[in-house]
């Protein structure tokens, strides 16, 4: 089982949004700059996150994205599911047709692993991640990265 870039980027972007939500709506351009994720890719991910109610958008000057509900109410597994990712470790997608049309020898092992991963990711919410010291340290470093603002360079802080 491997979580794809799509799921990883979605969780990273949502965590960035949770960290910076106190400053008002957060632009995707700011998330893209801090996290090194393509803006167009973030736009696709946030369209899916918005459909699931995990984020809300506001247009115009000062617009951007906010969390759709409190960070403590958004589990990591919700974010991964919102972008159509799966934490299924079976080869058959849980269909029990891993070996031709029959269940393979290790199906139950991989199914049980998938269940454990799902429960683990369901037990961690964005608020818990924001409170982690090392997450805050990384966020502070990312906030200090120089930003090119039309010919001059200044920090984003």
| Model pLDDT for residues 17-28, shown as the tens digit of each residue | 999 988 899 999
| Model pLDDT for residues 84-133, shown as the tens digit of each residue | 888 888 888 888 898 888 889 999 999 999 999 999 999 999 999 999 99
Contact between 145 and 125 under an 8 Å Cβ cutoff? The reply is no
Average pLDDT of the chain is 88
How far apart CA 70 and CA 3 sit, in angstroms, is 25
How far apart CA 119 and CA 129 sit, in angstroms, is 16
Region 122-149 average pLDDT: 86
How far apart CA 152 and CA 157 sit, in angstroms, is 15
Structure tokens at 151: 């010919």
Query: Whose CA is closest to 54, among 32, 35, 71?
Result: 71
Q: Using the 8-state DSSP alphabet, how is residue 22 labeled?
A: G
What is residue 117's predicted lDDT score, i.e. its pLDDT?
Answer: 93
């Amino acid at each position: 089982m491997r979580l794809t870039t799509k799921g990883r980027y979605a969780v990273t972007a949502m965590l960035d949004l949770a960290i910076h939500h106190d400053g008002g709506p957060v632009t995707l351009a700011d998330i893209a700059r801090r996290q090194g994720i393509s803006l167009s890719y973030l736009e696709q991910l946030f369209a899916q996150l918005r459909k699931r109610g995990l984020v809300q958008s506001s247009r115009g000057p000062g617009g951007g994205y906010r969390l759709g509900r409190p960070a403590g109410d958004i589990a990591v597994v919700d974010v991964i599911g919102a972008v159509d990712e799966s934490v299924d470790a079976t080869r058959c997608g849980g269909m029990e047709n891993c070996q031709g049309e029959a269940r393979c020898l290790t199906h139950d092992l991989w199914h049980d692993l998938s269940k454990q991963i799902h429960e683990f990711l369901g037990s961690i919410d964005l608020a818990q991640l924001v409170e982690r010291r090392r997450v805050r340290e990384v966020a502070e470093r990312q906030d200090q990265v120089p930003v090119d603002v039309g010919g001059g360079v200044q920090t984003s802080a």
